Amino acid sequence: VSYSIDSETSTTINWIGNLLNGESMVVDTPTYSNLGPGSHSFNINVSNPNGSADENTANDSFTYNFNVSPAYATATVVFNLLTDNYGNETSWSLVNSSGTIVDSRPINTYDDDTPYQEIITIPSFNECYTFTISDSQSDGICCGPFGNGSYSLKDENDSDIIIGGTFTDNESITFSVQDPLSITTFSLENSINLYPNPVTDNLNIELTHVNENVSYQLYNTLGQQVSRGSLVSNRSHNLNMSIYETGIYFIKLSTNTSSITKKIIKK
């Protein structure tokens, strides 16, 4: 069995073993925290089950498509709205991953052809939210005989989360929100240096400008944890890789606020 996650980089893990007819097993995989926002595919392929040709190849592959939501480090989001000729038809809502409404405005709230700006406070960090704008007459707010309305949702740094106006019933975007005071995945990515890779004996792990201690877990290609430990911030550390077999490993490095997973090749 092999699987891969297709994005800007692809990882393939192979599992070799014997299963009887009708048996199943769970293959644990490392946590992937470095997938960029956008569309990705999880691909599973089977070949030569139990060392012989498969009599039925029709079900030897499976693909699961999924999206990674964009992330923003912000405590508020700013909703800007320019209504069309029928402002009373416009409504919107912001809900969390549990479906609880964080903030919203019903129809008959807004006047015609009028600009509005509303500040929405984010109640919880490290959470996903879905913003939805709706038009009760199913013709959006732009563009045509009923006016040229528009809207945008921005974070506190004036970065666009979504811009629009042309839709029918509604349109939505799902995004995650991180604590702007915490260490983000991006900063952790640039604060940890692993070398050499490929590695024969000692893997050097350098921590620079990391204000928290870092824990690590080392996984083999079966998703089994083979080592774990703690690393002191702003120091260099050595991880003995000579005791492990040649192959591919994954090291997950985590703080209290973020984590990353890196592929290590053991020669």
Chain segment 57-99, per-residue pLDDT in tens: 888 888 888 888 888 888 999 999 999 999 999 999 999 999 9
Tell me, what DSSP letter sits at residue 98?
Answer: T
Residue with tokens 């929100």: 177
Q: Quote the pLDDT of residue 31.
A: 66
**Nearest in space to 152 (alpha carbons), one of 78, 211, 97, 214:** 78
Does pLDDT of 25 surpass 50? yes
Q: Quote the pLDDT of residue 137.
A: 95
pLDDT in tens, 139-197: 999 988 899 999 999 998 888 999 999 999 999 999 999 887 665 555 667 778 899 99
Yes or no: say if 128 and 96 are a contact pair by the CB < 8 Å rule.
yes
Q: Quote the pLDDT of residue 167.
A: 96
Regarding predicted confidence, which is higher, 186 or 237? Answer: 237
Q: Quote the pLDDT of residue 77.
A: 95
Query: How many angstroms separate the CA atoms of 15 and 3, rounded?
Result: 9
Query: How many angstroms separate the CA atoms of 75 and 103, rounded?
Result: 14
Query: How many angstroms separate the CA atoms of 78 and 156, rounded?
Result: 7
Reported as a pLDDT band with limits 50, 70 and 90, residue 202 is very high
**Nearest in space to 147 (alpha carbons), one of 155, 156, 137:** 137
pLDDT in tens, 95-134: 999 999 999 999 999 999 999 999 999 999 989 999 999 9
Query: How many angstroms separate the CA atoms of 109 and 118, rounded?
Result: 13
Report the DSSP beta bridge partners of residue 252: 217, 261
Query: How many angstroms separate the CA atoms of 102 and 175, rounded?
Result: 14
Collapsed DSSP state (helix, strand, coil) of residue 68: strand
- The pTM of the full predicted model, rounded to 2 decimals, is 0.59
